[in-house]
């Protein structure tokens, strides 16, 4: 390929080979590692994270922390953050729009510097993704916040504890509150918190750094601010989104994939959902494997943890296209998570989108025009296609679809995938898929 889009953006060429078989080992999760790096900014001593994936998001976050004066080393699977020399409270504009990390830096940098500027956050375009819960939580804890056209400025002489109730159990806003409350003066009570495994992992890391955090049974975090935090060490838990994606890649192609490195507990709702569809699991302390003779359709609603994770939704829709009968997905976390379906339809999938809440209770998007329910009619043969990847999770859905299709596929803009998956080409090649890359080198 030599067209202009592939000069700056890499592409993957995929030749399906039939059933995928083999082993994949996942590393620590993308959605945890960068947040741990942010927490480390508050330690008086260095922090060390191991089992880190090789993903672009770590490089982006490392550069942001370096711009503040932190010393960050990324060596093999280990990231070390030495925060002693934080000298700036300003994250440069050039880091705007790349990931969700800038907004999470606000509380920690306020503790260090008393003022902060962060550029607008980015991440996948799967909904409006506002930061209003973050801003109102920071204000409740005493920050003076100003949202400008380029980013967010905040000031606070000393942050204090507060009683906060999130309108929705947002992962990022829960993390903002945890990262801010740990060094604030007094007690913070956070109701309607997100309790995703990656959030709990961050809370445990902060506890290891010396924070006083309790999780009450009703999804309430109670945090007593402390005067100082130390650095800590942590080996990250396996990425449940990657694990699910590879397990489904096996099922979609009629093969059997064994995933190492992701604890069963992180996949519990994924396992029970696939079991309901007729999948057979083998599970040990070290790995999970899944296969199926035939799969039944299902009705699935995405939700906050412990519900079915929204990031598992694109692989599931591809799997539904290969199950005989009608399946339904009700997306309740993001209002705009189905645009990727258009290309799947071009590949031959039969999917209809609705603004109604199908297959579950009415959600926040009930009265809106958001197309947040999908009906999938299977089983349809998929054809290879040339596709531009829209976002990280939808994009991985295309890889899985391409592996199950007839004929080759060419996926452009796979930098979205390389930002968040650990060595995906090697993983798929290890499962037997013929997959090759064109374009500039991947992040190392």
Q: Does 331 bind ligand UD1 (CB under 6 A)?
A: no
DSSP conformation class of 266 = G
- The nearer residue to ligand UD1, 131 or 270, going by C-beta atoms, is 131
Which one of residues 12, 95, 133, 340 is an interface residue with ligand UD1 (CB under 6 A)? 133
**In the complex, least distance from residue 31 CB atom to ligand UD1, rounded to whole angstroms:** 3
Which member of 57, 77, 124, 362 is catalytic?
A: 124
CA–CA separation, 409 and 401 (whole Å): 9
CA–CA distance, 256 with 261 (Å, rounded to integer) = 17
Q: Single out the segment in contact with ligand UD1 by CB under 6 A; choices: 77-85, 163-171, 254-262, 380-388.
A: 163-171
Is residue 98 within 8 Å of residue 122, measured between CB atoms?
Answer: yes
Contact between 395 and ligand UD1 (CB under 6 A)? no
In the residue annotation, 124 being an active-site residue is answered as yes
Least spacing, CB of residue 215 vs ligand UD1, in Å: 17
> Which residue in 153, 311, 331, 418 binds ligand UD1 (CB under 6 A)?
311
- Least Cα distance to 399 among 295, 318, 313 occurs for 318
Residues 106 and 176: their CA atoms lie apart, in Å, by 8
Residue-by-residue DSSP string for 12-65 = EEEE--SS-EEEEE--B-HHHHHHHHHHHTTBSS-EEEES----HHHHHHHHHH
Nearer to ligand UD1, 131 or 323 (CB): 131
Residues 164-183 binding ligand UD1 (CB under 6 A) are 168, 170-173
Selected from 18, 97, 130, 440, the binder of ligand UD1 by CB under 6 A is 130
Residue 329: CB minimum distance to ligand UD1, A: 15
d(CA 196, CA 217): 14
Question: How far does the chain reach from its first CA to its final CA, in angstroms?
Answer: 23
Q: Does residue 333 interact with ligand UD1 by CB under 6 A?
A: yes
Q: Does 192 bind ligand UD1 (CB under 6 A)?
A: no
**CA distances (Å), origin 233, targets 47, 53, 166, 227, 433:** 6, 16, 30, 20, 36
Tokens of 22: 């083999």
For residue 118, state whether it binds ligand UD1 (rule: CB under 6 A).
no
- Could you list the residues that contact ligand UD1 (CB under 6 A)? 31, 100, 127-134, 168, 170-173, 194, 196, 310-311, 333-334
Which active-site residues does the annotation give? Answer: 124
């Amino acid at each position: 390929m030599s067209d202009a889009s592939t000069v700056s953006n890499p592409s993957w060429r995929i030749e399906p080979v039939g059933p995928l078989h083999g082993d994949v080992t996942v590393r620590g999760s993308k959605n945890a590692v960068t947040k741990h790096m942010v927490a480390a900014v508050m330690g008086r001593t260095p922090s060390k994270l191991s089992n880190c994936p090789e993903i672009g998001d770590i490089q982006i976050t490392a550069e942001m922390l370096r711009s503040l004066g932190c010393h960050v080393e990324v060596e093999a699977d280990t990231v070390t953050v030495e925060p002693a020399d934080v000298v700036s409270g300003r994250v440069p504009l050039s880091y705007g729009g790349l990931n969700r990390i800038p907004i999470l830096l606000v509380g920690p940098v306020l503790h260090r510097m008393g003022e902060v500027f962060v550029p607008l956050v980015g991440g996948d375009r799967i909904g409006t993704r506002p930061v209003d819960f973050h801003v109102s939580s920071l204000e409740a804890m005493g920050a003076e916040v100003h949202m400008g056209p380029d980013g967010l400025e905040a000031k606070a002489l000393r942050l204090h504890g507060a009683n906060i109730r999130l309108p929705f159990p947002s992962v990022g806003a829960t993390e903002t509150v945890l990262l801010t409350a740990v060094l604030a003066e007094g007690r913070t009570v956070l109701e309607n918190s997100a309790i995703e495994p990656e959030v709990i992992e961050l809370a445990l890391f902060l506890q290891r750094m010396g924070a006083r955090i309790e999780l009450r049974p009703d999804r309430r975090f109670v945090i007593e601010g402390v005067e100082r935090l130390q650095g800590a060490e942590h080996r990250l838990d396996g990425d449940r989104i990657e694990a699910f994606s590879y397990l489904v890649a096996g099922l979609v192609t009629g093969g059997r994939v064994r995933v190492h490195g992701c604890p069963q507990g992180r996949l519990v709702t994924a396992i029970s959902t696939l079991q309901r569809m007729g999948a057979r699991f083998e599970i040990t302390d070290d790995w999970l494997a899944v296969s199926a003779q035939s799969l039944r359709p299902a009705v699935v609603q995405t939700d906050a943890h412990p519900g079915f994770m929204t990031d598992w939704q694109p692989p599931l829709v591809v799997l539904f296209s290969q199950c005989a009968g009608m399946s339904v997905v009700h997306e309740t976390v993001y209002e705009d998570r189905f645009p990727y379906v258009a290309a799947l339809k071009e590949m031959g999938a039969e999917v209809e989108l609705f603004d109604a809440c199908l297959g579950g209770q009415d959600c926040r998007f009930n009265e809106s025009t958001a197309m947040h329910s999908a009906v999938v009619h299977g089983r349809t043969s998929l054809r290879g296609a040339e596709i531009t990847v829209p976002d990280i999770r939808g994009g991985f859905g295309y890889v899985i679809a391409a592996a199950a299709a007839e004929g080759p596929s060419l996926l452009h803009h796979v930098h979205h995938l390389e930002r968040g998956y650990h060595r995906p080409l090697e993983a798929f090649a290890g499962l037997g898929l013929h997959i090759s890359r064109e374009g500039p080198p991947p992040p190392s």
